[in-house]
Amino acid sequence: MKILLCMLSFSMFIGNLAYAGYDGVSYGIHHQYISPRALGMGDAFVAVANDYTALYYNPAGLAFRDEGELNLSFGLGASSNFKSFADEVSTASSTQGSETDKQNAMFGVIQKQYGKTFSARVVAPNGVYVGKGWGIGFIPADLSVELTPNQPVSVNATVYLDTTLSFGWADTIKDIDNAKVAWGITGKVVNRGFFSKSIDAIELVADSNLVQSSDLKEGYFLDADIGMLYRPHIDDDGSLLSFLRLARPTFGAVVRNVIDSDAIGSLKLFNKDATSDNKPEKLTRVLDIGSRWEYPSVWIFGGRGTLDIKDIMHPAFNLRKGLHVGFEFDWSMYSWWKGQYRVGLSQGYLTAGLSALFTWFNLDLVTYADDVGTYNTPKENRVYAVQFNMNF
């Protein structure tokens, strides 16, 4: 436990050295990787990390694996009215008549949606393999778009387009007698395209494409996530504390983006005209801490509860945005036929999800919400998402 506390203290110290303000027009917290399983249970997953997503959520979880797992997937999610708003902008720019007529049509579309936020996220087909103590993953494209109609008549647009190659390594610390402790590190190369600014209505009349590849700032980063998991051994000595052994508690911590440097250069994957002087937003160093508590297994049912504080040291962090609580309920008929139901609380908003696995095919459904408001004024952005998987 002392090792875990030392790690947290050190992380808080180095994080304060890198504290920075907002970069762009979005007040939300962008997560470089998201899992529908984690999101369904409030995105409280730091101390769980018991599937292929450990590579991204907490690499220490790789040390506790007994066998290999290959996941191939793609996913998409969006606010309920994202497409309709984008279509209305396109229609307004094509209005028949004078420029004044087109501008008035665009003003009407934007003013009607003042204060709302529309978002979408698309993850291209990607693959992750994890084994006992190691893992590797490649995500060729992860696109996030956030649109907020604003005053004066404009649209705040923020876009992230990441390509990520990751390699993780983990092991247990064997000289600790009263606990099972694991550490892990995920090194990664991230090429990021980034755009975040306000687009006024006059610009949208001339071109309804809110963002084009030539608008993106682009650069690549070399960084790493370092994680730990701590499972105490609780003796069955008849004390009140001994009953906690039934819950098999696990505590975890992850420092994400330890290096937290500016982009090194540009690979020009998205914007062929990108220059090294026009750098994208940094990955941002943050600290996540969490706990996991198992339910007693009954017949084919089991599950766990989780509690995390995430994104500590992020410029947009407050307790509301950082608090994540989740509950997951498992059922399993066979190793190839099983499922899970989840509910949670993330950034002050309810989440829910389910997974269904049959042979190699796995379907994940989730609804969650991001707090895209300012520090003192929360604002909900509800998202509905699906992920299609093949697991081997």
Contact present, 246 and 296 (Cβ < 8 Å): yes
pLDDT in tens, 157-214: 999 999 999 999 999 998 888 899 999 999 999 999 999 999 998 888 888 788 888 8
| CA distances in angstroms from 150 to 25, 146, 211, 313, 323, listed in the order given | 11, 13, 17, 28, 28
Architecture label for domain 2-391: Beta Barrel (2.40)
Q: How far from chain centre, in Å, is Cα 307?
A: 16
Q: At 120, list the tokens.
A: 């979408």
Give 236's pLDDT tier (boundaries 50, 70, 90).
confident
What mean pLDDT do residues 316-344 have?
94
Q: Report the chain's mean pLDDT, rounded to a whole number.
A: 90
What is the pLDDT, as a whole number, of residue 17?
A: 42
How many Å apart are CA 219 and CA 80, to the nearest integer? Answer: 32
| CA distances in angstroms from 285 to 18, 312, 314, 339, 370, listed in the order given | 7, 9, 7, 34, 19
CA-angle at 290, arms to 125 and 176, nearest 5°: 105
Q: At 197, list the tokens.
A: 């600014």
Give 11's pLDDT tier (boundaries 50, 70, 90).
very low
